[in-house]
Amino acid sequence: MKIFKLLVLVLTVVTAFTACEDDIITNYAFDDISAPQNLNANFEITQDDSGLVTITPVGEGASTFTITSGIEGDTPVTINAGESTSFTYTEGEYLVKIVATGATGLTSEYNQNLIISFTAPENLEFTTSVSGLKLTVTPEATNAAQFDVYFGLGDDEEPMTIMAGESAVYEYAEPGTYDIRVVARAASVNTIELTKSILVAGAVDPMVLPLTFDNPDVNYEFVTFGGVTFEVVANPDQSGANTSDSNVGAIKNGGAQYEGGTFNLGTPVDFSGADKTITMKFWSDTPTPVLLKFEGGVSGERQTEVSQSHNGTGWEELSFNFATDAIKSYIDGNQGVGEAFVPTGQYTAMTIFIDGPGTLAGTFYIDDIEQTGGLTTPQGAAPTPDKPESGVISLFSNAYTNIDMATWRTDWSDTALEESAINGNDVKIYSALNFVGAEPVAQIDASQMTHFRTDIWTNGATIFRIKLVDFGPNGTYQGGDDSEHEIVIENPSQSEWVTLDIPLSDFTGLQNRGNIAQLIYSAAPAGEATIYIDNVIFYDANASAPDSPQNAAPTPAFAEANVLSLFSDAYSDVTMATWRTDWSSATLEDITVAGNAVKKYSALNFVGAEPATPINATSMTHFSTDIWTGDATQIRIKLVDFGPNGTYDGGDDSEHEITLNFDNGDFVRNSWVTLNIPLTDFTGLAAREHIAQLIYSAGPAGEATVFVDNVYFHN
């Protein structure tokens, strides 16, 4: 049997319940000495009806392996690390036990179920689960002992061989549709195979409630345990509580106790509000309990869970009220302190169990998991506008240069104003809002603009109003030529950012737009609602964005003594071997912008830059780079340290990648953005003495164009 790089077995360890058992049993004699770790074994089953099986155990820190074949009456065999042993089996199912012994005498145990059949495998089927660029394949077949899994990598691909009951995982370099071929093998010379075409879309956006399974950019990863498989599929039964023609999540239970999985949320669920209810559409054709559990408290909050019963009638909506029904809670996962607990904090992990300790097998479907009114503050920044700055008049936005405002709360306003930031993005907060006026220093000429935009977030307003007031050609209040118009938005969406993108032609009472002097917000219920405001702009929808920067990137201001520069006109640069390695997937052009040297990467998937000698950045605190893009939705920056031996894949490499998303406001388009990242944010970078690679990546993969300038470390 062969072992191939980048292909791993999925071994899931469940520790959430004491009823579960680990496959690896470790005896600890001393706290500071470890038993052998990462036990596994390669099983080579001869396909000639002989029943001959060769077993090669592997494990870190193991000196010897004692193998019990599972054949009745057989004597255990002890071999040294790196050796193999063979057994001859008759047809049947055997439990092979392998005990690894380390130099200290400590042991670890690994068990593997082995199926021997001289009948050709039958009824081959396999399920797949896609998470970003990672594909998990779980095959099943009658009489099969092993499966060869091919991931559609070409004619020369070597298969990943797994045992019955295991899964194979591969992470692709880029999105695409791949032909997955699975060959089922037994001790018989005959095999069967099955091929399916699987789309790996490369979704990378984090999950936030509500979970609809319909956004192709979201990575709906369900981290399963207990033998569960998961995939996103089309709604198979448009009836009952879910009649929509949309995608749903399919959970397949194998029939073990405590099967389930966890959604790790990019935005935590917030239970600080009065309404602590989570609703979920759930499909089953058999009555079953469904348990919803929240873990991963942001500030160490205790775990909490609610269970509801499904009647087995297809699509039903289940409601989990954590204010009244959270009958169990645990501290640090201790199962002995379960008690009622009403959550008031934030949680990043949402776990679902179907049939809890029961053994119900089957396929179940979930959809539209959402929180009803629980958020009291936004958990993420407002969407970043993508209008070209040349066609924008900005009153308030981190994406543009703002005009001067005299006030964001006039003295005749009837509300309170607070200024804050969410994920580094400035916001205005109007609490107890009745009405509030904002006035620019100089009246705004919006006669060439076509739209007014503002982003709002509320969890209480039933009506929101926007009024624009123009003082007319004489430019004075109540000068006889004033005009105004108010837009009314009824029932704005709650607890999420809403972009109000309004054509100026809808402000029908606004006779002129050359002297706009007041912007007035108001809400109902009067004096009760809290409104968050961001991105207040006028814009011309007909303005076209340039396809390249028109101005040079900002000149860095750090003293050269505090800088280690890779590429900048402001400093002396280290010698670079290349700004595009031969394994890169991008086109590089060296250009100038306003007389300033710039790297232009087009059709960018990923590109590597390497210095002539590794960089020692231990005295530096930050990595900085300027980027400009008109079309990227995501920018990723990876630093790779080759370790003390200074060679790639030498055993002491370390790396970390920072991901920045346009939708999260991490960067803006059509403008130079300085990314000044603390090196402590590169948490996977174990050392900084031998930094040998800098890798830029972008999304959509292979489609974005990114301009790069001022690449340096500094302190």
pLDDT in tens, 38-70: 898 999 999 888 999 999 999 999 999 999 999
Superfamily of domain 560-714: Galactose-binding lectin (2.60.120.430)
CA 8 to chain centre: 21
Answer yes or no: is pLDDT of 326 > 60. Answer: yes
Residues whose CB falls within 8 Å of the CB of residue 268, separated by 6 or more in sequence, listed in order: 296, 298, 346, 347, 348, 379
What is the predicted pLDDT for the residue at 544?
81
Q: What is the pLDDT of residue 141?
A: 94
Distances (CA, A) of 3 to 160, 200, 222, 612, 704: 7, 24, 27, 34, 36
Which backbone phi and psi does 390 adopt, to 5 degrees? -65, -20
Cis? peptide before 503, omega within 30° of 0 = no
Region 127-200: CATH code: 2.60.40.10
Structure tokens at 86: 């063979």
Q: Are 182 and 136 in contact (CB under 8 A)?
A: no
Confidence of residue 12 (pLDDT cuts 50, 70, 90): very low
**What mean pLDDT do residues 268-273 have?**
85
Of the candidate ranges 2-6, 55-59, 200-204, 583-587, the one whose mean pLDDT is the lowest: 2-6
d(CA 210, CA 375): 12
What confidence tens digit (pLDDT) does each residue in 572-600 have? 999 999 999 999 999 999 999 999 999 99
Residue among 150, 172, 151, 148 at smallest CA distance from 161: 148
Instruction: Band the pLDDT of 333: cuts 50, 70, 90.
Output: low
* H/E stretch holding 537: strand 529-539
Per the confidence metrics, is the pTM higher than 0.85?
Answer: no
Higher-confidence residue of 645 and 335: namely 645
* Model confidence pLDDT, tens digit, residues 417-453: 999 988 778 999 999 999 999 999 999 999 999 999 9
Whether the Cβ atoms of residue 496 and residue 379 lie closer than 8 Å to each other: no
pLDDT for 373: 57
Mean pLDDT of 3-27: 34
Percent of the chain with pLDDT over 70: 93
Determine whether domain 389-539 maps to CATH 2.60.120.430. yes
The pLDDT assigned to 264 comes to 93
Give the E-state strand segments of 483-528 in sequence order: 483-490, 498-503, 516-524
- Give how far Cα 238 sits from Cα of 212, 354, 462, 533, 540, Å: 15, 22, 32, 39, 42
- Classified as helix, coil or strand, 91 is coil
Q: What is the DSSP letter of 409?
A: S
Run of H or E residues at 421 = strand 414-422
Max intra-chain CA distance, the chain: 107
Q: Choose between 582 and 6: higher pLDDT.
A: 582
* Mean of pLDDT values over 238-248: 92
Task: Tell me, letter by letter, the H, E, C secondary structure of 649-675.
Answer: CCCCCEEEEEEEEHHHCCCCCCCCEEE
The tokens describing 362, both together, are 């089957």
How high is the pLDDT of residue 334? 55
* Residue 193, pLDDT score: 95
Looking at the domain 8-116, which fold is it? Immunoglobulin-like (2.60.40)
What's residue 103's pLDDT?
Answer: 85
Q: What is the pLDDT of residue 105?
A: 87
Q: Report, as an integer, the average pLDDT of 546-575.
A: 92
Give percent helix, percent strand, percent coil of the chain, each to the nearest 5.
Answer: 5, 50, 45
Residue with tokens 């509000």: 273
User: Is 222-371 in the same CATH topology as 8-116?
Assistant: no
* pLDDT number for residue 198: 87
Each residue's pLDDT tens digit, 657-714: 999 988 777 888 888 999 999 999 999 999 999 999 999 999 999 999 999 999 999 9
Between 300 and 330, name the one with better pLDDT.
300
With cut-offs at 50, 70 and 90, classify the pLDDT of residue 33: low
Average pLDDT over residues 204-230: 87
What pLDDT score does 208 carry?
A: 87
User: What's the CA gap between 49 and 45, in Å, rounded?
Assistant: 10
Cα separation of 240 and 314, whole Å? 7
Per-domain residue ranges of the chain: 8-116, 127-200, 222-371, 389-539, 560-714
CATH H-level, domain 222-371: superfamily: Galactose-binding lectin (2.60.120.430)
Q: Give the angle 255-259-262 at the CA atoms, nearest 5°.
A: 150
Per-residue pLDDT at 331:
57
Cβ neighbours around 639 below 10 Å, total: 24
Summarised one tens digit per residue, pLDDT across range 301-310 is 888 899 999 9
